[in-house]
Each structure stands twice: as C-alpha cells, then as structure tokens.
Amino acid sequence: MTIQFYGIPNCDTVKKARTWLEGQGFDYTFHDYKKEGANAARLGEWADVVGWEALLNRRGTTFRKLPDAAREGIDRDKAIALMVAQPSIIKRPVVEHGDQVLVGFDPAAWAAALD
C-alpha cells in the first residue's frame, strides 16, 4: 500500500520525516504544496478523520501574519479555505496510508501506524 506524503520540501519536520521513511524502507509519493497546491476536498476528508483543528498550524509564521479578521472566528469551512489559499498553514507533514491520516511527525506513532 502506497504512502501519500504531503508537505513542503524545505520544512525541517518534513525533511526529518522523509529521512525516517526512507531509513525504514517505506516507499511514498510526495505532494509538494508549494508546487501542487492543496485540495479543499482532500482537506475536508482529512478534517473528517483528524479534525480541522489538527490540520491548521496556528503556531507558524504564515498564520500569525494573517490579518486579524482572517484569524478570528475560524470554523471548519473557514479553516479549509485558509489552508487552500495558504498551504503553508497546514500542519506538516500529512501522511495518508490506507484509511489512516497522520498529521505531524512522531516516529513512534508512525512506526505503529505504518507497520
């Protein structure tokens, strides 16, 4: 079963996760948000599995630089629209493996989920 890996290549966490996957011998397909963008339908599917709150990176620079009006009153639909418009605010990496969605890099959780 192929692993679908979503992220931004120059992100340190993405680099660590890719190195880990390769070190474990996992094959994966990489989706670069900067080149390929983010798909609203796919974000919606992930939000159904992990919750939109887990996908939205409120701690990053891109989110903090948004106007106050964009950062206030966020709900699922607004969060997805923001992530489509600004893929840098999607918490990284996101991995799809079968019906699982993993958000962020945790080697122990990944080992258990991808085994």
Give tens-digit pLDDT for 38-95. Answer: 999 999 999 999 999 999 999 999 999 999 999 999 999 999 999 999 999 999 999 9
Active site residues: 11
Closest by Cα among 7, 12, 46, 55 to 28? 7
96: which 2 tokens? 């799809």
The amino acid at 109: A
pLDDT value at residue 2: 86
The model's pTM is 0.93
CA distances from 21 to 6, 32, 38, 40, 107 (A): 13, 16, 22, 26, 9
Confidence of residue 18 (pLDDT cuts 50, 70, 90): very high
User: Which residue type occupies 102?
Assistant: L
Separation between Cα atoms, residue 38 and residue 81, nearest integer Å: 10
